């Protein structure tokens, strides 16, 4: 893994070398606590359960599997690069974790519900509470590698969860029943954000969920769909509508919390629009076959076989040639090439409300923006 040294450059040197984007966290380290699922798991599942998807996972960047559900970097990795800070270590990593810039609690496959199931959102929060207590204790003993109250206050809390709640629900319930369950997912996110706030966290960065109905897996596992079930891009309308319904409630939650959480900054990022644009306008981004997995089984149209044994790395799977740009890596997760574009759109601020820079929280340290 490419590990960046802790940002040590003096502020002026950064001004000269990076005239457009200055990592305002340079004088005071940027600290991120991330909560979520495979969209931002940098190795948590692998560390926790010892399960690791083998090569070609990781082939595009790390050149080895890292526990990331992609051929390379995830959006969270690109966001860390933007801050000039190293990638987040998974909380569960027992081998040389580096928590100096925060902790990644995200784990592949998790959801908001049910509670007390590893490693769903409330477990991630319990882990955070334990980490915080222990960190404060060590910090008070003068071990400055760990965080004090101010660090927890100035840190950024990033949340990207809900996709598995939706895909799990759509696998078992009717559309109306899924829509009915959405408030219970949002309520878990609300509880998590309040818990963080009451422990002193003030800066939140919330990703909404992507167009579920455009994932090759969701398309391939349903054989009872007909023309009217698809939108003009070939995605499943009801699943995308479900994602949009979830996002509307998540956006409303962020608005509600902004008015209730004094001194907080809550940025809501419309990942759905970014990913939907990527799929709908895939050719203008240089991608072919936006609904087909690079790594999978069965070829066109989705290269995904509903038989779990035949997915990427399963019996007889195939993988696209390196360098051929695909959006979907394995039918569920995006490729590094797609993640890079998603991250650049996030950084553009055009999809954020309010439209703050991703490094806005570095301003808590008292250095004004240029």
Residues touching ligand NAG: how many (CB under 6 A)?
12
Choose, by CB under 6 A, the member of 280, 347, 356, 367 that binds ligand NAG: 280
Pair 37, 106: CB distance under 8 Å: yes
Cα 45 from chain centroid? 14
Does residue number 130 form part of the binding site for ligand NAG (CB under 6 A)? Answer: yes
Q: Which stretch binds ligand NAG (CB under 6 A): 71-79, 89-97, 114-122, 125-133?
A: 125-133
For residue 113, CA distances in Å to 117, 173, 196, 322 come to: 8, 15, 18, 37
Does residue number 277 form part of the binding site for ligand NAG (CB under 6 A)? Answer: yes
Does residue number 263 form part of the binding site for ligand NAG (CB under 6 A)? Answer: yes
Pair 170, 178: CB distance under 8 Å: yes
Pair 58, 295: CB distance under 8 Å: no
For residue 203, CA distances in Å to 158, 218, 364 come to: 9, 34, 9
Q: Which is nearer to ligand NAG, 56 or 211 (CB)?
A: 211
Q: Select which of 86, 139, 276, 333 is catalytic.
A: 333
Q: Closest separation between CB of residue 93 and ligand NAG, Å?
A: 19
Spell out, one character per residue from 184 to 213, where the chain touches ligand NAG: x when CB under 6 A holds, - when not. ------------------------------
Pair 253, 197: CB distance under 8 Å: no
Spell out, one character per residue from 23 to 62, where the chain touches ligand NAG: x when CB under 6 A holds, - when not. ----------------------------------------
Joined together, the tokens standing for residue 261 give 């959480």
Q: Select which of 71, 330, 352, 364 is catalytic.
A: 330
CA–CA dist 44, 249 (Å, integer)? 28
Choose, by CB under 6 A, the member of 96, 223, 232, 262 that binds ligand NAG: 262
Contacts with ligand NAG in 209-238 (CB under 6 A)?
224, 226, 228
Pair 291, 275: CB distance under 8 Å: no
Look up residue 230 and give its DSSP letter.
B
Q: Which stretch binds ligand NAG (CB under 6 A): 33-41, 86-94, 97-105, 275-283?
A: 275-283
Q: Closest separation between CB of residue 263 and ligand NAG, Å?
A: 4
- Identify whether 38 is a catalytic site residue: yes
Choose, by CB under 6 A, the member of 118, 133, 184, 315 that binds ligand NAG: 133
Joined together, the tokens standing for residue 357 give 């820079």
Q: Select which of 23, 26, 38, 328 is catalytic.
A: 38
Q: Which stretch binds ligand NAG (CB under 6 A): 129-137, 160-168, 298-306, 347-355?
A: 129-137
Q: How many CA atoms lie within 13 A of 13 on its CB side?
A: 6
- Identify whether 333 is a catalytic site residue: yes
Please report the sign of the dihedral spanned by the C-alpha atoms of residue 81, residue 85, residue 87, residue 92.
negative
Question: Closest Cα to residue 247, out of 273, 228, 229?
Answer: 273
Burial (CB count within 10 angstroms: exposed 0-12, middle 13-18, buried 19+), residue 174: exposed
Q: Which stretch binds ligand NAG (CB under 6 A): 48-56, 114-122, 126-134, 178-186?
A: 126-134
The residues of the shown chain that bind ligand NAG, judged by CB under 6 A, are 129-130, 133, 224, 226, 228, 262-263, 276-277, 280-281
State the catalytic residues. Answer: 38, 330, 333
């Amino acid at each position: 893994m490419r590990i960046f040294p802790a940002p040590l450059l003096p502020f002026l040197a950064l001004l000269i070398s990076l005239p457009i984007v200055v990592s305002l966290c340079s004088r005071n380290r940027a600290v991120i606590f991330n909560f979520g699922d495979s969209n931002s798991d940098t190795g948590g599942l692998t560390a926790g359960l010892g399960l690791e998807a083998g090569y070609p996972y990781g082939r595009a960047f790390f050149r080895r599997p890292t526990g990331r559900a992609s051929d390379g970097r995830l959006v969270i990795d690109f966001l860390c690069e933007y801050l000039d800070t190293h990638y987040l270590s998974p909380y569960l990593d027992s081998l040389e974790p580096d928590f100096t810039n925060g902790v990644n609690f995200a784990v592949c496959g998790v959801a908001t519900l049910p509670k007390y199931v590893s490693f769903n959102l409330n477990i991630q929060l319990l882990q955070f509470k334990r980490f915080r207590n222990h960190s404060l204790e060590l910090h008070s003993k003068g071990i400055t590698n760990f965080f004090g109250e101010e660090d927890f206050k100035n840190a950024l809390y990033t949340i990207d969860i809900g996709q598995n709640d939706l895909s799990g629900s759509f696998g078992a319930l009717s559309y109306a029943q899924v829509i009915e369950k959405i408030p219970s997912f949002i309520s878990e996110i609300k509880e998590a954000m309040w818990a963080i706030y009451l422990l002193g966290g003030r800066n939140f960065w919330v990703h909404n969920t992507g167009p579920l109905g455009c994932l090759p897996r969701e398309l391939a596992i349903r054989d009872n769909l007909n023309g009217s079930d698809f939108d003009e891009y070939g995605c499943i309308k009801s699943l995308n509508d479900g994602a949009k319904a979830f996002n509307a409630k998540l956006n409303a939650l962020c608005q509600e919390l902004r008015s209730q959480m004094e001194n907080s900054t809550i940025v809501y990022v419309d990942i759905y629009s970014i990913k939907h644009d990527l799929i709908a306008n895939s050719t203008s981004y240089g991608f072919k076959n936006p609904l087909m997995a690079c790594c999978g089984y069965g070829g066109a149209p989705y290269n995904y076989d509903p038989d779990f044994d035949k997915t990427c790395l399963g019996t007889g799977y195939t993988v696209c040639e390196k360098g051929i740009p695909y959006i979907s890596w394995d039918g569920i997760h995006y490729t590094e090439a797609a993640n890079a574009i998603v991250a650049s759109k996030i950084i553009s601020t055009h999809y954020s409300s309010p439209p703050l820079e991703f490094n806005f929280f570095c301003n808590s340290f008292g250095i004004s923006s240029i």
